[in-house]
Amino acid sequence: MLPRSVNERLLARREGRGAMRVKAIALALALWAVGAAVAAAQVPYVPAEFLSGHRRLQGNSITFCVYEDSPTYAFDRAVAEELAMALLLEPNFFEVKPPPFRLAQEDYVEELYVLLMDHCDAMVGFSLATDTYPDWLVLTRPYYWTPYVLAVTDPDYRQLSDIPRDKAIGTRLLTLVDVEFINFMSTLPKEQRWRRFPYVSDALLVQRLLDGTIAGALMWAPALYRETGGNPEALGIRVISTSPLRTIERPVGLAVRSSDAFLRAMLDEAIAALTQDGIIDELLERTGTLGRPDR
């Protein structure tokens, strides 16, 4: 009888060499759980009353933090479950509700530090698109890449360069595509630049596209599909080429404390196994998430 689920397919594929690899990973993780060297790193100042400082990973479980309002919540959680299974661990989840508005990088760093100290062993669905994170944090390899897109409502537009230069282009503030768009426009003569309207939420960005305030919206593809109920075409929204702006993708992985670098290595091994076995592809298809596995 054919396997009926992703989990069953994964188990079926891990006969022989795959099973040997999983056993090796599980043994290494068991050694890590006994005790890992603490890396020297500068940590943010957080009042002691906000920290308990206890280690959560015990016995056969691992706890993942996941943002409950993420457009890729279902996919990220499914990946975490498969990673835990690859490491022969029981997955637990701590769901994080982010503040409605946050600009200061230091606020996010402090929040992340508290989460990884007190609530979870790894943050899933973490953007790897920047190298500005502090040295107390280490990142896994990506488990998938997901694109930024240009959304428009005018049927005459086929790519970014078709949009008249006196029109406005909306962006999601402080995202990778926002920074790239700023850098790209700085290379253009002033008379050839679009107006840039940055927004602090994806919902507002889509709303301004629909009411005609902006002629195009540069945003993360999963966010566009979430804000349009999974069917942007039904609202008259089309995705077109970002040319001459280069295609931009966001790599997504997990974040752990640098003192848990050995756990990071084990997660890297598990991600490689899920990618090689085709599980990441299957999860993307099952959850309807736009993206591709790491190559």
Give the per-residue SS3 of the chain. CCCCCHHHHHHHHCCCHHHHHHHHHHHHHHHHHHCCCCCCCCCCCCCHHHCCCCCCCCCCEEEEEEECCCCCHHHHHHHHHHHHHHCCCEEEEEEECCCCCCCCHHHHHHHHHHHHHHCCCEEEEEECCCCCCCCCEEECCCCEEEEEEEEECCCCCCEHHHCCCCCEEEEECCCHHHHHHHHHHHCCCHHHCCEEEEECCHHHHHHHHHCCCCCEEEEEHHHHHHHCCCCHHHHCCEEEECCCCCCCEEEEEEEEEHHHHHHHHHHHHHHHHHHHCCHHHHHHHHHCCCCECCC
**SS3 letters across 141-158:** CCCEEEEEEEEECCCCCC
What pLDDT, on a 0 to 100 scale, did the predictor assign at position 106?
Answer: 55
Cβ burial 174-189 (10 Å sphere, 16+ → b, else e): ebbbbebbeebbeeee
For residue 161, which amino acid is it? Answer: S
Spans of the chain below 70 pLDDT:
1-59, 99-107, 130-131
What pLDDT, on a 0 to 100 scale, did the predictor assign at position 27?
Answer: 46
Residue with tokens 């940055």, as numbered in its chain = 198
What pLDDT, on a 0 to 100 scale, did the predictor assign at position 49?
Answer: 46
What pLDDT, on a 0 to 100 scale, did the predictor assign at position 97?
Answer: 85
What pLDDT, on a 0 to 100 scale, did the predictor assign at position 100?
Answer: 57
What pLDDT, on a 0 to 100 scale, did the predictor assign at position 98?
Answer: 73
What pLDDT, on a 0 to 100 scale, did the predictor assign at position 133?
Answer: 79
What pLDDT, on a 0 to 100 scale, did the predictor assign at position 31?
Answer: 44
Enumerate domains of the chain plus CATH numbers: 6-145+252-287 (3.40.190.10), 146-249 (3.40.190.10)
Q: Are 134 and 109 in contact (CB under 8 A)?
A: yes
What pLDDT, on a 0 to 100 scale, did the predictor assign at position 40?
Answer: 42
What pLDDT, on a 0 to 100 scale, did the predictor assign at position 29?
Answer: 52
Sign of CA dihedral 180, 217, 247, 230: positive
Residues in CB range of 222: below 8 A, 6 or more apart: 71, 72, 146, 289, 290, 291
Structure tokens at 38: 């603490």
